Amino acid sequence: MNRDAPLVLGIETSCDETSVGIVRGDQLLANVVSSSMEQHRRFGGVVPEVAARAHVEAMPQVLQEAIDRAGVAVEEVDAIAVTAGPGLAGALMVGVGAAKGLAQALDKPLYAVNHLVGHVAVELLRSEGRELELPAVALLVSGGHTSLLLIRDLVDGVEVLGETIDDAAGEAFDKVGRVLGLSYPGGPEIDRVALAGDPDKYAFPRGLTQHKDQSTHRYNFSFSGLKTAVARWWEAHGDPSDEALIADVAASFQDAVADVLTAKAIDACTAHGVPRLVLGGGVAANSRVRALAEQRATDQGVDLRIPPLSLCTDNGAMIAVLAAELIRRGQAPSRMDTSAQSSVSAQYAQLGRGDDHRTDSLDVPPHPAETTDPPEDRPEIMDSLNRWGATSVAPDPSETGGDDQGDARKPSEDEERIDEAITGLQPTVSASATRAPTPKSPWLPNVSFSLGVLGIALSPALGVGVIPAILAVLTGHIAKAHPLARKSTVMVALVLGYLGIAVSIVVGIVAATPLVRALLVSAGFLLPEG
Ligand code: KG4
Ligand code: ZN
């Protein structure tokens, strides 16, 4: 071990993992992670306030355990590193506050670093075997981010090639997991059930992979249209008790995500002449993503690096080793007034640089659009990107908006409806935390519709139709409250129901008058009395 290398303690609290890592230069000494995932499970997603509170509670113990495992005295530490962004604002603040406190108390320099660059820097850890060679392309995919980076230099040469324009890949996994009735987080669950499924069974859409997307969204991602397509498909054909069906849908969805992620990542490598690809983030644990990445990397002669899972997901070691690299390069520490920045571009490895006040306004707009030429000369990539088409169960892209939208695109009405359906069941923190989601049945609109038809059909028969018509209206209104209910079916059912009631009542009233009765009898609508 190089005793001259700086001993750095790194703190990571950008999402739901409280982590402290300790490195000496590029040598990993300790990496302790405590996750608050269990506390978020019942909400079906990370609740920022819960995450922040969990960081406060976990920090002292995680810190102590990291110091114990590293076998160092805290006074020996040369620098304190911390994730300053991007991430959840409240969660980041806990880490930044803790790091500043330690730096002040121990009189050590503070290095506020970029979480995304940390995911790549983890490859510097010598315990990983091979040295990180640059340039490299990095694909970072987690519940919070989906970024494709070109790394020419870790400190000064990170270029954002593309990002998601809507949902992060892990977020899509979690939401689709919820649609399929799997527990949170959906990613590992989908990975597990997909093992028994057929990835080619359903051709779900591959967002931003059409030829027209190549000019502006070649390296961007969109998973919202895919999520909506799966939810819509499930709404129409799903059966929560059919495990084989769940497996096929999970496998087909997973394949769609893996296909797009790996095709764009390998495309970035070959288009930039960079034969190295680094994967990072929780989704890099996905078996299909790994398999497809390995296969395509081998095909294209790209050296693929995937850190072990403990260093793939959020951790303090990656933050510590990035700071150690900054120190090795002679970079000045961050200012003590550096604040947490929830949205910050990966192009800034260090935040709050003492000599650099740019970082005061690092809340960056979406990255510049990609302008390199499309990969027409790469049939294998184009072939994969264009796979969905004739056999696709995809909704019309113009309906879901998932395929051809600009950076600041608005979700379509259907996407909002699906999103509401998936996330609307999550109680907010202020609501009762233990409230169970109300089960609602997707078949209700169809029942309502059938009753409406029955009501109309029977309504001339002396108002008999009033009963199914009233039932049609009642069930229609219940179905209307269901976010996954197809609006058109509910509307038609309600119109039929009200019409049935109206006609039944009118027929009932007029039939009571002798003349109309006689007319109705002669028209065959009523049986003659007696
Ligand atoms: O990096 P991470 O642990 O935390 C952050 O989001 O920052 O990533 C968590 C995400 C979740 O969305 C989870 O569903 C996803 O990674 N994930 C997976 C798998 N394991 C975790 N997604 C797909 N397949 C997996 N095996
Ligand atoms: Zn991360």
Whether 402 and 205 have beta carbons less than 8 Å apart is answered as: yes
| Distance (Å) from CA 281 to ligand 1 centroid | 7
Q: Return residues with CB closer than 5 A to ligand 2 (ion).
A: 142, 314
For every residue of 188-250, DSSP letters joined together read: HHHHHHHTTS-TTSSB---TT-SGGGGTT-TT-B--HHHHHHHHHHHHHH--TT-HHHHHHHH
Find the length of the chain.
530
Q: 311 CA to middle of ligand 2, Å?
A: 10
pLDDT > 50? residue 358:
no
Cβ–ligand 1 distance for 191 under 6 Å, the answer yes
Instruction: Give yes or no for residue 78 having a pLDDT over 70.
Output: yes
CB atoms within 10 A of CB 354: 15
Instruction: Tell me if 307 CB under 6 Å of ligand 1.
Output: no
Per-residue model confidence (pLDDT) at position 406: 38
* pTM, two decimal places: 0.71
Distance 470 CA to ligand 1 centre (A): 48
Which atom of ligand 1 approaches the CA of 142 most closely?
A: 8
Ligand 2 centroid to residue 326 C-alpha, Å: 20
Digit-coded pLDDT (tens) for 8-42: 999 999 999 999 999 999 999 999 999 998 899 88
For residue 88, report the distance from its CA to the centre of ligand 1, in Å.
Answer: 16
Average pLDDT of 495-502?
Answer: 87
Question: What mean pLDDT is predicted for residues 59-79?
Answer: 97
Q: What is the pLDDT of residue 30?
A: 97
Is-contact 381 375, C-beta < 8 A?
Answer: yes
Terminus-to-terminus CA distance in the chain, angstroms?
A: 108
* pLDDT given for residue 526 in this prediction: 75
Identify which has the larger pLDDT, 509 or 98: 98
The answer to whether the CB of 86 is under 6 A from ligand 1 is no
> Tens digits of per-residue pLDDT, 267-289?
999 999 999 999 999 999 999 99
In 64-201, which ranges are E strands? 79-85, 110-114, 136-141, 146-153, 157-163
Average pLDDT over residues 294-308: 95
Q: Determine phi and psi for 372, rounding to 5 degrees.
A: -70, 160
Q: What pLDDT is attached to residue 518?
A: 81
What pLDDT score does 465 carry? Answer: 83
Q: Is 142 in the pocket of ligand 1 (CB under 6 A)?
A: yes
Cα separation, 46 vs 88, whole angstroms: 10
Q: Which residue has better confidence, 137 or 427?
A: 137
Give the model's pLDDT for residue 524: 81
Please work out whether the CB of residue 167 comes within 6 Å of at least one atom of ligand 1: no
Q: How far is the CA of 511 from the centre of ligand 1 (A)?
A: 67
Compute the mean pLDDT over every residue in the chain, rounded to the nearest whole number: 83
Residue 182 has a pLDDT of 95
Query: Which helix (DSSP H) or strand (DSSP E) does residue 3 occupy?
Result: none
**pLDDT for residue 315:** 97
Q: Whose CA is nearest to atom 6 of ligand 1?
A: 143
Q: What single letter denotes the amino acid at residue 79? A: A
Ligand 2 centroid–CA 133 distance in Å is 21
How much is the pLDDT for 68? Answer: 97
In this predicted structure, what is the pLDDT of residue 33? 97
- Count CA within 13 A, CB hemisphere, residue 259: 26
Q: Sort 37 into a burial class: Cβ within 10 Å, 0-12 / 13-18 / 19+.
A: middle
pLDDT at 413 over 80: no
Per mean pLDDT, which range of 155-169, 260-274, 314-328, 442-456 is the poorest?
442-456
Mean pLDDT of the region 53-71:
97
Q: Is the CB of 62 under 6 A from ligand 1?
A: no
- What is the rounded CA–CA span in Å between residue 530 and residue 524? 15
195-220: pLDDT as tens digits: 999 999 999 999 999 988 989 999 99
pLDDT at residue 397 in the model: 39
Asked whether the predicted pLDDT for residue 447 surpasses 90, the reply is no
Interhelix angle for 186-194 vs 243-271, to 10°? 110
* Nearest-angstrom CA–CA distance, 507 and 26: 87
Per-residue pLDDT reduced to its tens digit, 101-134: 999 999 999 999 999 999 999 999 975 556 788 9
Reported confidence tier of residue 88, pLDDT bands at 50, 70, 90: very high
pLDDT band at 176 (very low <50, low <70, confident <90, very high): very high
282 lines ligand 1 (CB under 6 A): yes
Report the atom number in ligand 1 closest to the C-alpha of 314.
1
Confirm or reject: Cβ of 483 under 6 Å from ligand 1: no
Most confident of 257-266, 425-434, 467-476: 257-266
d(CA 160, CA 167): 17
CB atoms within 10 A of CB 446: 17
